[in-house]
Chains A and B, each alone.
Chain A
Amino acid sequence: MKCRKCGQPAVVALKRHNTAFCREHYLEFFYGQVDRAVKAYRMFARDDRILVAVSGGKDSLALWDVLLATGYQADGLYIDLGIAGYSERSKEKVVAFARARGAGLRVVSVREKYGLGIRELARQARRAACSVCGLHKRYFFNREAMEGGYNVVATGHNLDDEAATLLGNLLNWNTGYLARQAPLLEASAPNLVRKVKPLYRLTEKEIASYAVLRRIDYIVEECPMAVGARSILYKHLLNRLEEVSPGTKARFLFGFLEKGREAFAAGEEEVQLKACAICGQPTTADICSRCRTLRRAGVKL
């Protein structure tokens, strides 16, 4: 295969675009897709301070790399979930990445804060690990961004993540989630920070290719808590469809964002947020879900 732009040997084939690129022009394509996402949703500007939520995986490190390479002010936030072995290895990748680029990095340890890792917290609260993990991540994203004076939190959610979430929400008719699924979540309360997903136009394969081409040393192994996750099954199913009909995932997600989401949003009643009586973060109840989970796990608040 030859690069569509220069005719040199290609290193990445993009079936959904019916094209292929050499390294130089693939990176140009990749930056163009991120730029298009940022501009389409006015995610942030050059003078914004961005906090990138990084796990050590390909998506979040690729996102941080793109933002730094294209001149944005982007620091990292690593949440150490206290998962034996995996957390140490992923943290090493993040610290090395930040050090090599002279980038700012904030680190929060779940075990230091609560005396328990996320696995033990979930077990003691009798809740699914990924659900408890999500609650705490959202809490720390917001709290760290507010404390550090960042305007926006950026996450590495990609086209596959969003398409799999969309499929799951449709299969279960989660209309509330469908109304809110978007590449940008505005700060809907004074103590909330805007959240954005600049990689939503790019697939996991495209991001993994970028990471290899940019020599990003990411953690290849899967989070042990995610083994058997329904989202992975949905991704495999969508990739089977993509193989037969290239572009299916993009049409599914982008079509929803352009034509479908509005209908769900219109049917939703506006929720009134108030400050959690314990932690002060926005919630619809008197005590937020994170604090209730911590109580159930026996953590003193």
Chain B
Amino acid sequence: MKVVIPIPERRVHEIKGPKQVHAILKELGLVSESVIVIWGENLLTPDVTVPDEAEIEVRPAISGG
């Protein structure tokens, strides 16, 4: 699957699916409290299994200032 992280610079990771959201975040070294995971127009909970052909966005939720 493709995992797009839009900021700070857009990065695209290739991860072997199917895989649950929490495992994807763990593989990427991300803390789930700091991001939301979007597939199309839907939000994904940690237990959702993402198929290999999917493209998902992992969007950081932390902002500064």
Contacts and interface: CB of A to CB of B under 8 A. Distances in A.
Interface of A: 1, 10-13, 15, 20, 57-59, 130, 133, 160, 203-205, 207-209, 212-213, 215, 220-223, 225-227, 229, 231-232, 235-236, 239-240, 242-243
Nearest to A238: B33
B65 A203 contact: no
Given A10-B45, A20-B45, A222 B8 contact: yes
Residue with the highest number of chain B CB atoms closer than 10 Å, among A15, A220, A227: A220
B47 interface: yes
Contact of B63 (A15, A204, A239): A204
Contacts of A226: 63-65
A11 B42 CA distance: 7
A226 B63 CA distance: 8
27 contacts: A1-B45, A11-B42, A12-B43, A12-B45, A13-B46, A59-B63, A160-B62, A203-B33, A204-B61, A204-B62, A205-B36, A205-B61, A208-B36, A212-B36, A212-B43, A221-B8, A222-B7, A223-B63, A226-B63, A226-B64, A231-B64, A232-B64, A236-B31, A236-B34, A239-B34, A243-B31, A243-B32
